[in-house]
Amino acid sequence: MNGQRLGGRYQLLERIGGGGMAVVYKATDLVLNRTVAVKILRSQFGSDEDFVQRFRREAQAVASLSHPNVVSVYDVGQEDDTYYMVMEYIEGPNLKDVINQQGALPVSEAVRIAVQICDALDHAHQNQIIHRDIKPQNILIGKNGRVKVTDFGIARAATSATITQTGSVLGSVHYFSPEQARGGVTAEKSDIYSLGIVLYEMLTGQLPFSGDSPITIALKHLQEPLPEPRQIRPDIPQSVENIVLKALAKDPFLRYKSAKEMLLDLETCLSPERQNEEKIRFPIDDEETKVLTAITPEMMAQYKREKQLDARAGEEDEEEETSGKQRWWTKALIWTGTIGLFLLLAAAGVMFLLNSIQVPEVTVPPVTGMQLEEAEQKLKEAELVPKVVEDYHEEAKGTVFRQEPAPPMSLKRNSEVTLYVSKGPQEVAMPSFIGQKASLAQQQLAEAKYKEVIIKEREDQEVPEGHVIDQIPAPDTQVVPAETSVTLYVSKGKRYVKVPAVVGKQLAAAKVELLKAGLDVGDVTEQASYEVQEPNIVLSTYPYEPQMEVAAGTKISLVVSNGKYPADARIASYPILIDVEEGEKVDVRIVLSDARGDNQVVVEETIDQPRNYTLSLVLSPEKDAKIEVFKDGVSDHTHYISYESLE
């Protein structure tokens, strides 16, 4: 049935469970845009009119339950021969899955779960609803750890015909009370017994009674003594075992009087003053000889045959009675008939009177999603009295977002129907996410159901990578979450850039280059230089050299020339004579190497007569001078001038 739509609003998505009588699907409520669970009655029960009527009545009754530990029933409907119930969707495993995975649960956890189940049963019993099928498969554990009891109503709607359906008994007989196994009347104490079995299984990781067939297991519930939990798991406190023993007493009169009494016992069983209490003892009935087994159809047939034989034997004996005695019996029968007729007529009169004053029932119309005025008018037309409760809700202001009881429940005329009307979405103060991890901020915004979360990344030198730098709307702004898009500016961490090549550039130009690269200018230091005599020329950068990668915003210090030679420099003039024959032309090139640099071409020209050149030399302790003269491209002679020679 995946993909099918029921009632025009419930889109079935996938099957998530099922049993002998129904199949459960995860679905979407297209009207309220929420996820729900839809339980669909199996087709073989849809043709049983008696079963269907019971199902409807019980579903309506369960829909009236409102308790945090009971799965809410939203709607009940029919489409052709398909009968379905729409319930709250719980995302999480059932208790049976938890026990199968973990085995015996910690005592405190088992007691915590039992308290919530017991609280749900107490609420149901106060509303005259008996579950009749308490078992771990019907206990759901939500993601937040909250326990939810489900399948109210289905168990009560089951007739004697369903008890033999495949899977019905096999799934529940381990949790039957003795009176259920015997075929007797079930009441609140049957639910208490079943809860005792569930608690036993949580504490020990196993069931108290098992067997090869449902009949075998049922007989053990009736006849065999309970294997005590502390024999299996000695660390169970005596106070907790006492609760199990009392809940599982075979005689209903020895069990807890109510789920409320068991709940109060569970809430205090782990207190220090109770953990070493004495083991509970039950009175022994000396007249008890056996436990009665279930009365089967075969036993009933045998009983009727025996009654018929007894009746025939009685007729033969009566023929031997005297005629006087027959006349006495005739008078007795006449009087008995007269009194019986009188009582029958009186009963008929009482029934007629009750029917004449009985208030007719009407079906509650669906008004969810309507405006208040329209909803009130619908209820008044149905002869029902609207009661309005206003609350904040995502629906538009004045819209009915929930009604209790829900359709198609029937009520007496002039009964009250509560309408929950939206006051509009509630504004809240926008929380601050600045400085938080972006992933955590996204999770919190999703849980608060904000309309949209937009992530924009940017580099930041202060905020660590992945953390929120800024947000829109700003913190403490009043917003409606469902209508608000939130933009989070998230840090990509520090930006890294290369130190630009500014050596040889004027100081002003170098500063501009550094700032354009995203760097700051640090200290500027002047220094004498052999190579550069022009002032304010960048000689070097520190502590980082050009082309190194550093974080944006790092300070880069500069060393610039002051236009002077170092103090240990020795400056001298050196004459060079180039001799040329008359009428001859010579290409002259003079190359100088000194402290200012190597292979400096200081003269390059053509001469046709002798010429004197005076060269300026700068020497350092580490660098002497060398002068090489070329004529017509050929080395003519070389001069060497040492640093010491200039003293």
Q: Where in the sequence numbering do the catalytic residues fall?
A: 133
Strands 147-149 and 139-141: antiparallel
Phi-psi region of 504 (alpha: psi -120 to 50; beta: other; left: phi over 0): left
Nearest alpha carbon to residue 221 among 242, 190, 199, 188: 190
Q: Which two tokens stand for residue 86?
A: 């729409």
Q: Rounded to whole angstroms, how far apart are CA atoms 573 and 552?
A: 49
Q: Rounded to whole angstroms, how far apart are CA atoms 189 and 131?
A: 11
Nearest alpha carbon to residue 466 among 497, 485, 494: 494
Task: Check if the beta carbon of residue 450 is closer than 8 Å to that of residue 485.
Answer: yes
Q: If DSSP codes are grouped into helix, strand and coil, which group holds residue 89?
A: coil
Q: Rounded to whole angstroms, how far apart are CA atoms 302 and 313?
A: 17
In degrees rounded to 5, what are phi and psi of residue 567? -65, -25
Nearest alpha carbon to residue 645 among 553, 572, 550, 557: 572
Contacts of 102 (CB under 8 A, 6+ apart): none
Q: Which two tokens stand for residue 66?
A: 């409102």
Radius of gyration of the chain (CA): 50
In degrees rounded to 5, what are phi and psi of residue 320? -85, -5
Q: Which two tokens stand for residue 581?
A: 């024959």
Residue keyed to tokens 């033999």: 164
User: What angle do the packed helices 188-204 and 259-268 form, to 10 degrees?
Assistant: 30
Helices (H), 144-251: 154-157, 168-172, 178-182, 188-204, 214-223, 229-232, 238-247
Q: Cα dihedral sign for 119, 101, 214, 288?
A: negative
Task: Check if the beta carbon of residue 115 is closer than 8 Å to that of residue 199.
Answer: no
Contacts of 64 (CB under 8 A, 6+ apart): 127, 404, 405, 409
For the chain, the farthest-separated pair of C-alpha atoms sits apart, in whole angstroms, at 193
Q: Which two tokens stand for residue 441?
A: 């901020």
Nearest alpha carbon to residue 527 among 556, 561, 557, 566: 561
DSSP 539-571: EEEESS-TT-EEETT-EEEEEEE-SS--TT-EE
Q: If DSSP codes are grouped into helix, strand and coil, which group holds residue 334?
A: helix
